[in-house]
């Protein structure tokens, strides 16, 4: 199997080189931060090379306090949370406007790869600006009920879907979504747990 590991930053991919895990060749792609960079980099990669599976790995902020800092979760649904139109106090999705919908639900085939079942499934949103304001946090929770947020996930799923490549998104919780407080984050723990989880998975796929 030929696998592509995709992450926004070098720090998230640093533990992995272009190597073989058992029978699998694993390539790396540092896409850059954000939806636009991810869509551009990933599209170019998938159109120039053939892959059986793309795995998006990285960190995430959690709205759900039942997740522990450092826990690795699997995003099974991801939404472009800001895409739509304001209608008074509400935001209309493209689907509600009669346009092509952007709610994306793409899972690795669990019957073929039961090893991914050990990760808790979560609902994610993808944002241009991570939340750090109590009012905006409350609003997005009421509207979309997300459990985690990232800046790339939905773009990753979108491109993989368009290019016909199986996809999987794994995220380690580095912080809770709240008023910005870097002292409460645990990025080293999240990166360490992500490395262990991804390495273990690549060795058994």
The answer to whether 123 touches 171, Cβ cutoff 8 Å, is no
What confidence score (pLDDT) does residue 111 get? 52
Calculate the alpha carbon distances from 75 to 42, 44, 112, 153, 175 in Å.
18, 23, 18, 8, 16
Domain boundaries of the chain, sorted by first residue: 2-204
User: Which CATH fold topology does 2-204 show?
Assistant: Rossmann fold (3.40.50)
Top pLDDT among 17 and 61 is at: 61
For the entire predicted model, the pTM comes to: 0.91
Is the sign of the CA dihedral 14, 50, 101, 41 positive or negative?
positive
Instruction: Say how far apart CA 9 and CA 86 lie, in whole Å.
Output: 32
pLDDT tens column, 31-82:
999 999 999 999 999 999 999 999 999 999 999 999 999 999 999 999 998 8
What confidence score (pLDDT) does residue 102 get? 61
What confidence score (pLDDT) does residue 142 get? 93
Average pLDDT over residues 134-147: 93
């Amino acid at each position: 199997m030929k696998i592509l590991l995709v992450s926004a930053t070098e720090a998230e991919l640093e533990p992995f080189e272009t190597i073989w895990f058992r029978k699998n060749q694993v390539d790396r792609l540092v896409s850059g931060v954000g939806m636009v960079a991810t869509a551009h980099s990933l599209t170019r990669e998938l159109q120039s090379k053939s892959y059986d599976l793309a795995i998006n790995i990285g960190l995430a902020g959690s709205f759900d306090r039942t997740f522990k800092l450092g826990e690795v979760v699997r995003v099974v649904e991801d939404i472009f949370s800001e895409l739509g139109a304001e209608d008074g106090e509400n935001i209309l999705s493209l689907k509600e406007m009669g346009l092509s919908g952007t709610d994306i639900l793409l899972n690795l085939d669990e019957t073929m790869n039961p090893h991914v079942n050990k990760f808790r499934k979560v609902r994610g949103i993808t944002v241009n600006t991570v939340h750090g304001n109590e009012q905006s946090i409350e609003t997005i929770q009421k509207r979309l009920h997300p459990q985690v947020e990232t800046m790339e996930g939905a773009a990753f799923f979108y491109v993989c879907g368009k290019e016909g490549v199986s996809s999987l998104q794994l995220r380690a919780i580095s912080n809770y979504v709240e008023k910005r407080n870097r002292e409460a984050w645990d990025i080293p723990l999240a990166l360490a747990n992500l490395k262990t989880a991804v390495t273990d998975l690549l060795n058994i796929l």
